[in-house]
Amino acid sequence: MEGINLQQMMQLSQQMQARVAEMQEKLERQTMVAASGGGMVEVTADGKGNIKGVSIDPAVVDPEEVEMLEDLIVAAASEVQRRARERLESEMRRAAGGLPLGGLGNLLGGP
């Protein structure tokens, strides 16, 4: 890294840390929803993939079909977490301004 002194490296690092902190706060405020079973089960999560709520259409609440309901919940939860992971990766790329990220995602506690 010729031409970049230690002070410049520190400034770049501080800027990156500020961008990452801002991105994390933004993602925590975002809401994502994914559905399964044709919308009969919906799972809501924040932008980091933390599940915040589950909505179940009463039509699928049948004591004889508990296993199907469980599968629908898992499917919707998996989908909303996948979407959150994609958004996190996208935001990280934007925050990095084109710099290689390496293992930065693990440092952020991303899903």
Q: Is 19 among the domain residues?
A: no
Q: Is 77 among the domain residues?
A: yes
pTM of the entire predicted model: 0.65
User: 96: pLDDT confidence band, cut at 50, 70 and 90?
Assistant: confident
User: Burial level of 19, CB count in 10 A (0-12/13-18/19+)?
Assistant: middle
CATH of the domain at 39: 3.30.1310.10
Distance of CA 59 to the CA centre of its chain: 30
Q: Can you give the residue range of the structural domain that contains 64?
A: 31-96
Alpha-carbon span 49 to 27, nearest angstrom: 9
Question: Which tens digit of pLDDT belongs to each residue from 21-51?
Answer: 888 888 888 899 999 999 999 999 988 889 9
Alpha-carbon span 92 to 88, nearest angstrom: 6
Helix-, strand-, coil-residue percentages of the chain, each rounded to 5: 60, 15, 25
Alpha-carbon span 17 to 68, nearest angstrom: 44
Q: Is 80 among the domain residues?
A: yes
Q: Is 101 among the domain residues?
A: no
What is the number of domains present in the chain? 1
